[in-house]
Amino acid sequence: MMKQGLLVVGALGLLLHSGAAFGQNYEKMAKQIVNTSAGVKPGDDVIITGGQHTLPLMEAIAVEVARAGGQPNMMLNTDKVGRAINMETPESAIQASKSNNRLLLADVLITLPAYEDARVATAGMSPERRAKFGQVAAASGINKQLDASKLRGVFVSYPSKTFAAAQKLDYASYEQMMWNGIGADYTAIAQQADRLKQVLATGRKMHITSPLGTDLMVELGGRPVFTDDGIVSATDQQEKLIYNRTAALPGGRIYGSWAETSATGKLVVGNDYLPDGQALNGLKADVKNGQFTNISADAGAEAFQKLLAPSGPSALQVSNFSIGLNPVMKAQEQKAYSPTTAAGMVYVRAGNNNLLGGKNESTTAYSFPIANATVEVDGKVIVRNGQLVGPAAATIVPSSKKPAK
């Protein structure tokens, strides 16, 4: 999964052995997604969403759903349609998506990226208009409805040439890493996640530091801890919270919220991008009682504050964390490419956390990559200089075996 920047609450991006040609073996990949990750059963109503560029894999997934006895329903988007919805819908007509009503009745949602270039789909959108979409989604109560539903979901990342070009990534290497990440040994990742979850679920205080100057102390407060090991198991399917019924490919992440007003210290971020592609470099902020103050940056500070201002102070409340577990995924800090699932990659997020068992109901959330972070829980180091250690450490390599849980 790639870095998540601004999140509009209610957007439903929940939500293999690989080689050079594995990315084209859509049938093999579809078997893993449908049978192992999503666990599709006869009679399951399965919605498959994605963009035009993902159609070959969407089609393969739909065929495999039918072979498993499920009922596939495909929903296709394009960059042009997405931009029209985001930019040309009259403001008076912006409302919560009625397609959510259909979604809440389904058994399984398999989501691929809707846009090949998400920046184009939202370029030029005003902060106020962006906030309006978030506000109507939040007012619809979609988050509570998702928790109360039977839906389980799998989000599948898909290599994009446009994204790679924008980030100045070598496409061939980036594409291979994505397929290799999807094909990691998820049995080992699941075991690793379980060990780390025990530490976080019983921990009281978390301390996050980095060479650039991040120094945050937070209280975990007994909140739920979520693991993404690429599989929605039979046990997961019975969980009450939607994020416990959700997996991603590439997977490998553990995350949760903390007491909203507990964070104190300083947040310093290196290279990053705002949703419209504008650079946000050298962001610095003091954190007091969970709230950002004294925000500055080498580039993009004003645009960043304008982006979150319409959502009010709660959008600048430090609310949750994420730690990557997948050793195949690699960050490239200088190019501002920071996959959330990269092993040892730490994210701090501000804004909405109510799907994580938190109390911040902001209409947006923004994630900050903390490169080369060190994370301690009650004095026990679990990440040191961007490397998993202690109970979080494990040797994981790509595997041809289908993961079992």
| Closest listed residue to residue 171, CA positions, set 33, 29, 23 | 23
Statement: residue 227 has pLDDT above 70: yes
> pLDDT band at 5, cuts 50/70/90?
very low
Confirm if 14 and 111 have CB atoms less than 8 A apart: yes
| Closest listed residue to residue 319, CA positions, set 256, 268, 275 | 256
As a whole number, mean pLDDT of residues 212-240 equals 93
In a domain, 45, yes or no: yes
In a domain, 1, yes or no: no
State CA 251 to chain mean position distance: 10
pLDDT recorded at residue 333: 86
Statement: residue 348 has pLDDT above 80: yes
In a domain, 400, yes or no: no
> pLDDT band at 393, cuts 50/70/90?
low
In a domain, 404, yes or no: no
Our count of domains for the chain comes to 1
pLDDT recorded at residue 373: 97
In 296-397, which ranges are continuous DSSP H helix? 301-308
pLDDT recorded at residue 6: 45
Tens digit of each residue's pLDDT (9 = 90 or more) over 276-323: 778 899 999 999 999 999 999 999 999 999 999 999 999 999 999 999
In a domain, 199, yes or no: yes
Residue 224 lies in domain: 6-392
Confirm if 322 and 350 have CB atoms less than 8 A apart: no
Name the pTM for this structure.
Answer: 0.84
In 157-241, which ranges are continuous DSSP H helix? 161-167, 171-182, 186-202
pLDDT recorded at residue 51: 93
In a domain, 166, yes or no: yes
Name the average pLDDT for the chain: 87
Statement: residue 1 has pLDDT above 80: no
The reply to whether omega before 391 is within 30° of 0 (cis) is no
> pLDDT band at 19, cuts 50/70/90?
very low
Confirm if 100 and 49 have CB atoms less than 8 A apart: no
In a domain, 247, yes or no: yes
How distant, in Å, are the alpha carbons of 11, 261, 310, 331, 354 from that of 359? 19, 10, 19, 31, 5
In a domain, 204, yes or no: yes
Q: The domain spanning residue 45 has which CATH number? A: 3.40.1830.10
